[in-house]
Amino acid sequence: MKYDYLIVGSGLYGAVFAHEAKKAGKSVLVIDKRPNIAGNVYTEEIEGINVHKYGAHIFHTNNKEVWDYVTKFAEFNRFTNSPVANYKGELYSLPFNMYTFNKMWGVVTPEEAAAKIEEQRKEITGEPKNLEEQAISLVGRDIYEKLIKGYTEKQWGRDCKELPAFIIKRLPVRLTFDNNYFNALYQGIPIGGYIQMVANMLDGIEIRLGVDYFDNKAEFDAMAEKVVYTGPIDAYFNFSLGTLEYRSVRFENEILDQPNFQGNAAVNYTDRETPWTRIIEHKWFEFGKDKNGSDLPKTVISREYSSEWKPGDDPYYPVNDERNGVLYAEYKKLAEKEKNIIFGGRLGEYKYYDMDAVIAAALTKAKEELQ
């Protein structure tokens, strides 16, 4: 055996585990089928702008251990996410806060806003059973219709009545003029891009890119004592129990010869008709400046389109509804029977993990494994 660990996937889970294993004196090989490291957090510099190639990523956490960990690999800027919702040309502040309520209803005080929500949530009695009921019960029907329904159905390709309630609970609802999208003590974007942060985690570790584990699985397995697998769990078992559902995302990137396209990093198109879910203007993650602090004359935007995953696409979001939950539990049973393999990360565990949760999970697993 040449290596102690073969790590399949150089995303955050794989990179953190690899770093910890190397630190513990283990020999490690990381492989990834993509031509680049960093998985979905990969960034690439275009026109002096760090472009988030697989979707906008804003780091946020309440976990001090995770924050102390990531800041060893990168310095973070003070970016605070405050997306704008565009509903047929009407602009609203997100997440749901006093600016949103004022624009929607003309209410001025928190008391008036609370009364409006209270009046509209009456239609939901009992515990909300799905995303639609949960959304109406949180912010009322008007906001549900204009800012949630269309966006959610585009993003998930499913009716809001068929989606789990927890998805909408990710968003804060506030009776203050605070439009920070996250309730997190720590937030920011790594200066130099996520790519640099992950490269620092993988410093000194052997990496092979453009290599699919399944093209030579037996050979790879023979190279290491143990495998850490961060790809889709159903793919590992050759979809033998059926396919888990994922949402995929496609990005249309454009370089524009103008300094400012939309004045904000993220604008969500919350109507049903606009085919994209959101437009990201990457330079605003770094306040429109290049690495020397100069203003950038051009801008790069990405239109994000959501679609159902099919073989050959990149899986992005696990669809954590009931059917998939049951099927995942069956795959997990198979996984537990496998020897010398750890399944980790968003795809390996089929969980709607944010970056901080993936890092925390990898650190916990590494501690357990490497003690």
Give the residue with the Cβ less far from ligand FAD, 295 or 338.
338
How many Cβ atoms are within 10 Å of 250's Cβ, its own excluded? 14
- The yes-or-no answer on residue 352 being catalytic is yes
- The yes-or-no answer on residue 208 being catalytic is no
Using CA atoms, how far apart are residues 206 and 272, in angstroms rounded to an integer?
46
Residues 325-354, interacting with ligand FAD (CB under 6 A)? 345-347, 353-354
Each residue 58-87 as x (binds ligand UDP by CB under 6 A) or -, in order, gives ---------------------------x--
Residues 254-293, interacting with ligand UDP (CB under 6 A)? 268, 270
Angle at 351 between CA 268 and CA 162, to 5 degrees: 60
Residue 32 interacts with ligand FAD (CB under 6 A)? yes
Using CA atoms, how far apart are residues 128 and 125, in angstroms rounded to an integer?
8
Q: Residue 164 is which amino acid?
A: P
- The yes-or-no answer on residue 354 being catalytic is yes
Residue 186 interacts with ligand UDP (CB under 6 A)? no
Residue 230 interacts with ligand FAD (CB under 6 A)? yes
Helices and strands in the chain: count of H runs, count of E runs: 13, 16
Q: Which residues contact 264 (CB under 8 A, 6 or more apart)?
A: 82, 83, 84, 281, 284
**The tokens of 169 are what?**
């609970």
Residues 240-269, interacting with ligand FAD (CB under 6 A)? 249
Residue 164 interacts with ligand FAD (CB under 6 A)? no
Give the residue with the Cβ less far from ligand FAD, 78 or 257.
78
Angle at 324 between CA 322 and CA 330, to 5 degrees: 110
For tokens 């800027």, name the residue: 77
Among the listed ranges 97-105, 166-174, 244-252, 318-326, the one in contact with ligand UDP (CB under 6 A) is: 166-174
* Binding-site size, ligand FAD (CB under 6 A): 34
Give the residue with the Cβ less far from ligand FAD, 87 or 194.
194
**The tokens of 362 are what?**
């990898």
Q: Which residues contact 141 (CB under 8 A, 6 or more apart)?
A: 120, 123
Residues 80-139, interacting with ligand UDP (CB under 6 A)? 85, 94
Among the listed ranges 4-12, 62-70, 164-172, 322-330, the one in contact with ligand UDP (CB under 6 A) is: 164-172
Residue 55 interacts with ligand FAD (CB under 6 A)? yes
Active-site position among 20, 234, 281, 354: 354
Give the residue with the Cβ less far from ligand UDP, 20 or 354.
354
Give the residue with the Cβ less far from ligand FAD, 26 or 33.
33
- The yes-or-no answer on residue 174 being catalytic is yes
Give the residue with the Cβ less far from ligand UDP, 170 or 272.
170
Using CA atoms, how far apart are residues 301 and 46, in angstroms rounded to an integer?
11
Each residue 276-305 as x (binds ligand FAD by CB under 6 A) or -, in order, gives ------------------------------
Contact 141, 120 (CB under 8 A): yes
Could you tell me the CA-to-CA distances from 170 to 92, 135, 141 in Å, in that order? 18, 11, 18
Active-site position among 278, 317, 349, 356: 278
Contact 300, 47 (CB under 8 A): yes
Q: Which residues contact 144 (CB under 8 A, 6 or more apart)?
A: 132, 135, 136
- The yes-or-no answer on residue 119 being catalytic is no
The correct pick among 147, 227, 265, 358 for binding ligand UDP (CB under 6 A) is 147
Phi, psi of 171 (to 5 degrees): -90, 135
- Strand-pairing partners, residue 307, are 248
Crossing angle of the two packed helices 110-121 and 98-105, in degrees rounded to 10: 70
Binding site for ligand UDP (CB under 6 A): 85, 94, 147-148, 151-152, 155, 167-168, 170-171, 268, 270
Q: Which residues are catalytic?
A: 170, 174, 247, 278, 304, 352, 354
Binding site for ligand FAD (CB under 6 A): 8-14, 31-34, 39-41, 55-58, 212-214, 230-231, 249, 316-317, 345-347, 353-356, 358
